Amino acid sequence: MCNDAGIKYTIVSAVIFVVLVLVAFVILVLFKPVSPVLLTQTFTPTNVTLKAVTVIFQHGASAPEEFLSDDYDWSESFPNGECALTDLGFRESFKLGQYLRERYVKTGFLKSPLFAPEVYFRSRASDRCLQSAALVGSAMWAMNEHDEYKAVPVFSEENDDTLLTHMQNCVAETRRIREACGRLPTHDLKWSDFGGFIHECLGFHHESVLSSAEVFSEAMAYTHMDYHHLPVPNWFRSNKRAIYSIIDRVYSYIVGVNDYHDIDLLRVKQGYFLYTITEDLWKQWIDYEQTGKIRKKFRAYVTDNWLMLAFLHALGCGTSALGKSLPRNNPLIMIELYQGSGKPLVKVFYKDDTMDVPKDVTSDVRDCSFAHCHLVEFVIRPRFYKTNDSEKACFDTAKTRPKRKP
């Protein structure tokens, strides 16, 4: 009996020791926070090949969500109507598609002509997003804008889209607004009016030419005029830089980034989207390991700039990509999955029309140790910012308290 107990104890101890050694090995190999420069020198992947791509982009330029009741003929400048994609927006979307053609089609990564089973386009259910999705997809396989239209399948969720939108009146959002403002805004406000409410309750109207919520809302409409090179009032033109800075600050608060970084709010705003992106990358790699190929090797998501803003900051590379501003000027995020030295590796790029080449922001992704971010790190590190249950994230009353500053 005693000998049997001793043998069992020895076996259990040995098993525990082996497990601890394996766990320590995984932590040291994959998660040890080492200087990126040192790791770049000590790990340079060989035979790096692109296996899958995920792109996220904003719809093209659009009209204001509401025309102002002033003397200006808004319908003449924006004949497609409020919120609609403009002629400039159509051109921007086609241009973005042509860029993706150069990067992924002409290089042979994607088949030409279009082979629909290897691509997936998902759009928010708004006309401007759906039109941009169709235009970008068409341009990827068109020689020029006069070429025969190439139709790509575009998927969307008209009701209860928890991927490219977020639930309303969530605890993380209402709690911080009530604490900052002492009250909540009325329901169903337009975006610019909601921004005006935040602008005023945070006291920005005291330090800006935007002296009230109403003036902020007007300025939002004039930013569309300015972007389309249409005449704007003198007060806007004279204070343009300061006005854009204030708008960026308001967006930062609403989304929970920059000086207002809020993990719980970011989880509400984009947590399920980030979860979906990382899960899809992991599934793609497993498919490649098991079958030697990836069926849906190109995935595209068409959305609004607030989601791109939240997503980049949740990854940790928002400041590197954007500074403290919003994504503007036809913005594009590219996440590329590679195989290198037998390992799954990720690169993240940001581009807009002010750039000749995309900016590699991989080294600024949260806790990525390599110049090529290991997929395991990319999937696991932003865990506080992800959720697989949007409703739970929305109504969770507990505050996340990370051990270190995000």
DSSP string computed for 306-324: HHHHHHHHHHT-HHHHHTT
What is residue 143's predicted lDDT score, i.e. its pLDDT? 75
Contact 288, 50 (CB under 8 A): no
Contact 186, 177 (CB under 8 A): no
Q: What is the gyration radius of the CA atoms in the chain, in angstroms?
A: 24
Residue 284's SS3 state is helix
Token pair for 319: 């400041």
Token pair for 14: 């040995």
b/e for 128-139, b at 16 or more Cβ within 10 A?
bbbbbbbbbbbb
- C-alpha torsion 283→285→288→293, nearest 10: 80
Show Cβ contacts of residue 145 under 8 Å, excluding neighbours closer than 6 positions: 94, 139
Q: How many residues belong to the chain?
A: 406
Show Cβ contacts of residue 66 under 8 Å, excluding neighbours closer than 6 positions: 82, 190, 192, 221
* Distance (Å) of CA 232 to CA 193, 224, 228, 236: 20, 10, 10, 6
Contact 136, 96 (CB under 8 A): yes
Residue 342, classified by CB atoms within 10 Å of its CB into exposed (0-12), middle (13-18) or buried (19+), is exposed
What distance in Å separates the CA atoms of residue 88 and residue 184, rounded to the nearest whole number?
36
Can you give the pTM of this predicted structure?
0.88
Contact 134, 152 (CB under 8 A): yes
What is residue 306's predicted lDDT score, i.e. its pLDDT? 98
Residue 85's SS3 state is strand
Contact 53, 336 (CB under 8 A): yes
- C-alpha torsion 348→352→355→358, nearest 10: 20
Residue 302's SS3 state is strand
Residue with tokens 């140790």: 369
Q: One-letter amino acid identity for 80?
A: N
Contact 252, 259 (CB under 8 A): yes
What distance in Å separates the CA atoms of residue 12 and residue 190, rounded to the nearest whole number?
63
The whole-chain average pLDDT of the chain stands at 89
Residue 111's SS3 state is coil
The bridge status of strand 119-123 relative to strand 154-156 is parallel
Token pair for 344: 């799954």
What distance in Å separates the CA atoms of residue 120 and residue 55, rounded to the nearest whole number?
10
Show Cβ contacts of residue 186 under 8 Å, excluding neighbours closer than 6 positions: none
What distance in Å separates the CA atoms of residue 133 and residue 110, rounded to the nearest whole number?
17
Q: Of 54, 51, 50, 110, which Cα lies nearest the Cα of 301?
A: 54
263-291 helix and 305-315 helix, angle to the nearest 10 degrees:
80
Distance of CA 70 to the CA centre of its chain: 36
Low-confidence stretches of the chain (pLDDT beneath 70): 1-44, 144-148, 401-406
DSSP code of residue 48: -
Q: One-letter amino acid identity for 269?
A: K
CATH superfamily of 36-164+264-406: Phosphoglycerate mutase-like (3.40.50.1240)
